[in-house]
Amino acid sequence: MSLTVDERWDLIDRISRETVTAGVYKETLTDVIGEITIKPMTGIPVVIASLYLFWSIFGSFAGFFTDGFFVKFFDQYWLPWWQLHFPDTWEWLYYIVVGDPLADNCLEAFGMLTSGLFVAVGVVLPAIFIFYLMLTLLEDVGYLPRLAVLVDTILHKIGLHGYAIVPTILSLGCNVPGVTATRILETRKERFVMMTLLAIFVPCGAQLGIMQQVIPETMGLVLLYLVIGYFVTGFVLNRIIPGKSPEILMDVPPYQKPLLRNVALKIWMRMREFFTSAIPFVLLGVLMVNVLYLAGFIQWLSCTLSPLFVYWFGIPEATVGPLIAAFLRKDLAVAQLSVIEMTWYQMVTAVVLVSIYFPCLATFVMLLREGWKELLGSLAVLIVVVTVYGGFVHLVGILAGVA
- pLDDT at position 74, please? 93
Q: Which comes out higher in pLDDT, residue 95 or 232?
A: 232
Mean pLDDT of the chain: 84
For residue 78, give the nearest of 106, 37, 109 by alpha carbon: 106
- pLDDT at position 281, please? 76
- Number of CB atoms found within 10 A of residue 78's CB: 18
- pLDDT at position 248, please? 67
Q: What is the greatest pairwise CA distance in the chain?
A: 84
Q: What one-character-per-residue DSSP string does 382-403 give?
A: HHHHHHHHHHHHHHHHHHHT--
Torsion sign over Cα 263, 268, 273, 274: positive
User: Is the pLDDT at 182 greater than 90, yes or no?
Assistant: no
Helices 205-214 and 344-356: angle between axes, nearest 10 degrees: 170
Average pLDDT over residues 139-162: 85
Q: Give the integer Cα–Cα distance in Å for 74 and 67.
A: 11
pLDDT digits (tens, 9 = 90+) for 293-320: 888 887 888 788 888 888 999 999 888 8
Instruction: Indicate the DSSP class of residue 400.
Output: H
Q: Helix, strand, coil: what percent of the chain each, to 5?
A: 75, 0, 25
Q: Which amino acid is at 146?
A: R
Residue 213 C-alpha from the chain's centroid: 15
Instruction: Indicate the DSSP class of residue 114.
Output: I
